[in-house]
Structure 1
Amino acid sequence: MSKKDKAKTPAKTPKIDIGIDADSRKAIAHGLSRLLADEYTLYLKTHNFHWNVTGPMFNTLHLMFETHYNESALAVDLVAERIRALGFPAPGTYSQYAKLSSIKETEGVPEAMTMVRLLVEAHEACAKTARSVFPIADKASDEPTADLLTQRLQVHEKTAWMLRSLLE
């Protein structure tokens, strides 16, 4: 092979050596893929409700939902980037999310308080998914993933509490 040919040949991607074995990285990435699917589904549901909410609490819910979906938009990026840092492709299609997510789509346009109830359930689902990945990350001493999961748990549990308070 000539020097010219070598220059055209892409360099081999170095093996990932971050102190977490390949099987553990794969298991963590799979768990994070489920979380990403939940986070993205929650984002879409919240954005849909933001657009379509009506009723006496319109302004309050419209603004609240906007705050929530903006936070979710940032979260999906953080989760996807962690999957990539572990050496795996992040899912990024609706069909992948539909298979991986524990949150179901909402058909039609529910009334405002039903939207709130559905969002409580969706935030709790995200919390459960994040919590299910935690033992895998903890066993592998994957502190960055554990930190990400802790942050997501805090957001989802607090948001579920605040939304639940509207239903009392």
Structure 2
Amino acid sequence: MTAAKIDTGLGQNERTDVAVELTKVLADSYAVYLKTHGYHWNVRGPEFFSLHNLLEQQYRDIWGALDDVAERIRALGELAPQGYATFANLTSIKDGDPEKDAPAMLDELIRDHGTVIATMRAALEKADEEGDDVSVDLLTQRLAAHEKFAWMLRSSLGAR
């Protein structure tokens, strides 16, 4: 049995180039998901309830989006990465420290969302350059979500 030809209107090189960038997005998104979920479990202090709920909203959204990014990589004809070691090698986002206090957790997540945003912007630029409108749309939606998450975390710290 032969595999059906991938016909997205993009050439193999263009699809691969975009998939490489989406793989980085997936790895960074997965890392920030894990950290957000862990901080949701371990946050403490006078703002526990509101931060616990905020972090839950964020990790649930990120979790849902991971599948969309991975499936886009597959639609482009590439394999999506899997496994903790693989993701760890693809991201610069480090594991969270459950001993941190709530403000330090939020500050770290703000920086991590900045990393995800930068990775998404690079992927968005590549997808646009290659004429991959579907990936551009997906990345634009995810970029808006992560910018909102960072804003909500900054606002929770009383920052602009």
Taking structure 1 as the reference length, what is the TM-score of the superposition? 0.91
Query: Number of residue pairs matched?
Result: 158
Query: Partners in 1 of 2:131 and 2:54 — Cα distance?
Result: 36
Alignment match, 1:72? 62
CA distance in 1, matches of 2:92, 2:14: 22
3-state SS in 2 of match to 1:90: coil
Question: Which residue of the partner structure matches residue 102 of structure 1?
Answer: 92
Q: Which residue of 1 aligns with 2:74?
A: 84
CA distance in 1, matches of 2:118, 2:47: 29
Match of 1:133 in 2: 123
Among 32, 56, 67, the residue aligned to 2:22: 32
CA distance in 2, matches of 1:122, 1:139: 26
Following TM superposition, the consecutive aligned residue runs of length 4 or more in structure 1 with deviations greater than 4 angstroms are none
Matched with 2:112 is: 122
- Report how far residue 141 of structure 1 moved: 1.1
Distance in 1 (alpha carbons) for counterparts of 2:126 and 2:49: 41
Contact 2:39–2:96 (CA under 8 A) maintained in structure 1:
no
Residue 109 of structure 1: how far off its partner (Å) = 2.2
Secondary structure of the structure 2 residue equivalent to 1:163:
helix
1:3-14 mapped onto 2 (5 Å cutoff): 11-14=1-4
Aligned counterpart for 2:34 among listed residues 44, 49, 54: 44
Secondary structure class of the residue paired with 2:46: coil
Letter paired with 2:149? T
TM-score by length of 2: 0.95
List runs of 5+ in structure 2 lacking aligned partners: none
CA RMSD of aligned residues (A): 1.0
Larger Rg, first or second structure (1 or 2): 1
**Structure 1 counterpart of 2:5:** 15
- Residues 108 and 61 of structure 1, relative CA distance in 2, 3 Å threshold: closer
Counterpart CA distance in 2 for 1:102 and 1:148 is: 22
Deviations 1:42-99 (A, max 9, x none): 1100110011011000000011111111001101011000000001110111111111
SS in 2 for 1:102: coil
